Amino acid sequence: MFTALHERLATALPEGRHLPEEVWRRRHRAVLRVAGGQAVGLGVMALLLGRSPLTAGLLALAVAYPLVFTVLPGAGRGLRSAAATASLLAASVVLVYLMEGLTEAHFHFFVMVGLAALYQNWVPFGMALAVVLAHHGVVGTLFPQAVFGHGSAQHSPWTWSLVHGAFVLAASLAHLAAWRLNEQQGLRDPLTGLANRTLLLETTARMLARRSGPTSVLFLDLDDFKDVNDSRGHAVGDELLTTVSQRITGCVRSVDQVARLGGDEFAVVVAGSARTAAEVGERVLGALADPVVVDGRAIHVRVSIGVADSTSAGDRSADTLLRNADLAMYLAKSSGKNRVVVYAEGMERAAQAKAELITDLDSAVAEGQLAVHYQPTVELGEGVTTGYEALLRWQHPTRGLVPPLEFIPLAEESGAIVEIGRWVLTEATRQAAQWSREAGRPIDIAVNLSPRQLLDDDVVSTVRAALADSGLPAAQLTLEVTEGVLIDDVEAVVDVLRALRGLGVRIAIDDFGTGYSSLSYLRRLPADVVKIDRSFVQDLGSGGRSTTLVASIIELARSLELEVVAEGVETEEQHAVLGRLACSHAQGYLFGRPQPAAVQDPATSVEVPLPRTEALLAVRS
């Protein structure tokens, strides 16, 4: 019961937050001016009331003396505010004394307690209260005339000291209430009711100062929240943020604090190590795995999380801690999103390098640094090349060849992928049209589309324009999308895919088997081709479960009348197993690596037929 009372009291009372330095200085200067003015004023008043110059001087000195402590070198806020408050109250005592306890003179105490409350700190405030009570009780008992102006009070000073004390206390409570409300105002996020950035930084600073163990901060940023806001409207976005804030709050202990930093950014300060914080992060990922239903439609929320602990912040400042967590979040985002990354030394440099790459990417198309390489797709029965997949390459002026897995996520993030993707489409369709003419037979081309292209850009008209400009028949173009695009907003993606198919192009589901979707998902998709991910193909023939899995994908694809392409075929053994499973098409280093168009020539491409028996088996099954 005691703890409950204690907790309630603690939440009702002001926390005694540190005012920002600049605000504190301004208030302190004002208090000092009042204190100095009072010392001089009371000296003059004493003279006017006929006291001796010595008495007047001593009284003025009594008021001014505490101010000495405010200019002591090394004096902190606590000492300086206490000293200024001592001067304010000394003035009240002197005034009451000079006015011979006149009741109206006591009003001065109220004003001084109000001034002390400006510091919004328990030291001066508590001191003001203590002085008032002590002055009335002790001095009032010893020298009643110096404190009380009327006879009844002089006879029973303690009673009147209690009456005065009660009034001062009531005034103080009013100040406390104002102080507490001031503190709360502007510290909460209006939408979610969570702490805001200021409060988070203060809580973090306090934990850093008071805890001996490590303190950690998580920085969370929702992935692709902008798309939700753009496509579903701000009201839906707000509802989503509110739900997300509740789910995050459900993942932390009561000692940890969740804050909304603004937009789709959240942070959590955790009393614990980076490991504990990373566990909190994993819990948040788990809590957000269930789609959020707004207006009857499911929205899949993903979040990138950065974690940093106090051992990583050399200066033990809350700002540094939050910045490190932010950096780690940035890397979580650029390494594929929806994950937790713990800050490590050297991440500044990595982040810096990524930021530079993003800037460089902007000019890569214009400067002709991008190139498309082509990897053959072969029809397994006859071993003929039926088409190519266009794979982007970036020849960076100083870094050399940057692999697509490094720069495509960045281009996604920055939005540069939309322009780059358009360029790849134009380039690849033009090349395929040229090859088809030269070879005298249709050469297919597959182009990868990123999620951002699929949702952000007017991708349908881009594709239509590329086909028109190149003269390539739509049926020869396949657009590859990964399962990942589906989890954001299935309906919207399906609509776009339908529209693309309406142009006559084919849709391939890339990296099949690695994403979130299940086999049954395939039925719902407007797709023509399934590309079995390299990771399964690589295990073929090694006796693992991959063979069964690949077999069932092929079986399902056949029943849905989809073409199957096995990716990443490197060995004859894999080739043979695929033949036995009656897989129709394949791609991989065994048949050809991605090469510039000048090196690939479909007219002279070598045929890689299956060994005779395998081919027969494939045809029969």
The CA-based dihedral angle spanning residues 614, 618, 619, 621, taken in that order and rounded to the nearest 10 degrees: 130
- Smallest gap from Cβ 504 to ligand C2E, in A, equals 21
Within 10 angstroms of residue 489's Cβ, the number of other Cβ atoms is: 21
Q: What are the CA-CA distances from residue 299 to residues 145, 302, 351, 375, 482 (Å)? A: 76, 10, 30, 36, 18
Q: Which is nearer to ligand C2E, 248 or 477 (CB)?
A: 477
Asked whether 120 and 16 are in contact (CB, 8 A), the reply is yes
Does the footprint of ligand C2E cover residue 408 (CB under 6 A)?
Answer: yes
Residue 450 interacting entry, from Ca ion, ligand C2E, none, C-beta within 5 to 8 Å by type: ligand C2E
Of the listed pieces 1-9, 44-52, 390-398, 574-582, which binds ligand C2E according to CB under 6 A?
390-398
Residue 54 interacting entry, from ligand C2E, Ca ion, none, C-beta within 5 to 8 Å by type: none
Residue 12, classified by CB atoms within 10 Å of its CB into exposed (0-12), middle (13-18) or buried (19+), is: exposed
Given the structure tokens 């249709």, which residue do they identify? Answer: 442
Distance between CA atoms of 329 and 349, rounded to whole angstroms?
Answer: 14
Q: Please tell me whether residue 344 adopts helix, strand or coil conformation.
A: coil
DSSP 188: B
Q: Which of 66, 144, 568, 602 binds ligand C2E (CB under 6 A)?
A: 568
Q: What are the CA-CA distances from residue 357 to residues 223, 265, 304, 452 (Å)? A: 20, 24, 20, 19
Within 10 angstroms of residue 7's Cβ, the number of other Cβ atoms is: 10
The CA-based dihedral angle spanning residues 127, 15, 185, 200, taken in that order and rounded to the nearest 10 degrees: 140
Residue 403 interacting entry, from Ca ion, ligand C2E, none, C-beta within 5 to 8 Å by type: ligand C2E
Q: Which is nearer to ligand C2E, 326 or 510 (CB)?
A: 510
Q: Which is nearer to ligand C2E, 184 or 535 (CB)?
A: 535
Q: Which of 427, 480, 563, 614 binds Ca ion (CB under 5 A)?
A: 480
User: For ligand C2E, what does the binding mask look like between residues 473 and 502, x meaning CB under 6 A?
Assistant: -------x----------------------
Does the footprint of Ca ion cover residue 448 (CB under 5 A)?
Answer: yes
Does the footprint of ligand C2E cover residue 570 (CB under 6 A)?
Answer: yes
Does the footprint of Ca ion cover residue 360 (CB under 5 A)?
Answer: no
- Smallest gap from Cβ 539 to ligand C2E, in A, equals 13
The token pair that represents 312 in the structure block: 């990583």
Which of the residues 483 through 512 are near Ca ion (CB under 5 A)? 510-511
- The β-bridge partners of 377 are 387
The token pair that represents 436 in the structure block: 């088809």
Q: What are the CA-CA distances from residue 506 to residues 277, 498, 522 (Å)? A: 45, 10, 15
Q: What are the CA-CA distances from residue 243 to residues 164, 340, 483, 607 (Å)? A: 51, 20, 25, 57
Distance between CA atoms of 203 and 209, rounded to whole angstroms?
Answer: 10
Does the footprint of ligand C2E cover residue 383 (CB under 6 A)?
Answer: no
Asked whether 479 and 464 are in contact (CB, 8 A), the reply is no
Does the footprint of ligand C2E cover residue 456 (CB under 6 A)?
Answer: no
Nearest residue to 595 (alpha-carbon basis) of 385, 381, 383: 385
- The β-bridge partners of 268 are 218, 258
- Smallest gap from Cβ 431 to Ca ion, in A, equals 16
The token pair that represents 32 in the structure block: 């000092």
Q: What share of the chain is helix, strand, coil (3-state, %, to 5)?
A: 60, 15, 25
Residue 375 interacting entry, from ligand C2E, Ca ion, none, C-beta within 5 to 8 Å by type: ligand C2E
Residue 570 interacting entry, from Ca ion, ligand C2E, none, C-beta within 5 to 8 Å by type: ligand C2E
- Smallest gap from Cβ 438 to ligand C2E, in A, equals 23
Label residue 336 left, alpha or beta by phi (over 0 means left) and psi (-120 to 50 means alpha): left
Residue 589 interacting entry, from ligand C2E, Ca ion, none, C-beta within 5 to 8 Å by type: ligand C2E
- Smallest gap from Cβ 526 to Ca ion, in A, equals 18
Q: Which is nearer to Ca ion, 377 or 448 (CB)?
A: 448
Q: Which of 53, 193, 403, 471 binds ligand C2E (CB under 6 A)?
A: 403
Q: Which is nearer to ligand C2E, 137 or 541 (CB)?
A: 541
Distance between CA atoms of 18 and 34, rounded to whole angstroms?
Answer: 22
Does the footprint of Ca ion cover residue 189 (CB under 5 A)?
Answer: no
Q: Which of 202, 510, 563, 614 binds ligand C2E (CB under 6 A)?
A: 510
Nearest residue to 448 (alpha-carbon basis) of 489, 494, 393: 393
Of the listed pieces 244-252, 402-410, 541-549, 608-616, which binds ligand C2E according to CB under 6 A?
402-410
Q: Which of 14, 157, 588, 602 binds ligand C2E (CB under 6 A)?
A: 588
Q: Which of 542, 589, 606, 619 binds ligand C2E (CB under 6 A)?
A: 589
- Smallest gap from Cβ 281 to Ca ion, in A, equals 29
Residue 513 interacting entry, from ligand C2E, Ca ion, none, C-beta within 5 to 8 Å by type: none
Does the footprint of ligand C2E cover residue 421 (CB under 6 A)?
Answer: yes
Given the structure tokens 């050297």, which residue do they identify? Answer: 346
Does the footprint of ligand C2E cover residue 404 (CB under 6 A)?
Answer: yes
Residue 392 interacting entry, from Ca ion, ligand C2E, none, C-beta within 5 to 8 Å by type: ligand C2E
Of the listed pieces 88-96, 110-118, 145-153, 384-392, which binds ligand C2E according to CB under 6 A?
384-392
Of the listed pieces 140-148, 496-504, 545-553, 565-573, which binds Ca ion according to CB under 5 A?
565-573
φ and ψ at residue 309, rounded to 5 degrees: -120, 170
Q: Please tell me whether residue 493 adopts helix, strand or coil conformation.
A: helix
- H or E element in which residue 323 lies: helix 318-334
- Smallest gap from Cβ 522 to ligand C2E, in A, equals 18
Which strand ranges, in their side-by-side order, compose the sheet holding 340-342?
Answer: 257-262, 265-270, 216-222, 303-309, 340-342
Q: Which is nearer to Ca ion, 82 or 445 (CB)?
A: 445
For 139, half-sphere exposure in the C-beta direction (CA atoms, 13 angstrom radius) is 18
Does the footprint of ligand C2E cover residue 401 (CB under 6 A)?
Answer: no
- Quote the radius of gyration of the chain (alpha carbons, Å): 37
Does the footprint of ligand C2E cover residue 377 (CB under 6 A)?
Answer: no
Applying CB under 6 A, the site for ligand C2E has a residue count of 24
Q: Which of 192, 203, 386, 448 binds ligand C2E (CB under 6 A)?
A: 448
User: For Ca ion, what does the binding mask look like between residues 395 and 434, x meaning CB under 5 A?
Assistant: ----------------------------------------
DSSP 611: P
Residues in contact with Ca ion by the rule CB under 5 A: 448, 480, 510-511, 567
Residues in contact with ligand C2E by the rule CB under 6 A: 375, 390-392, 403-405, 408, 421, 424, 448-450, 480, 510-511, 534, 568-570, 587-589, 594
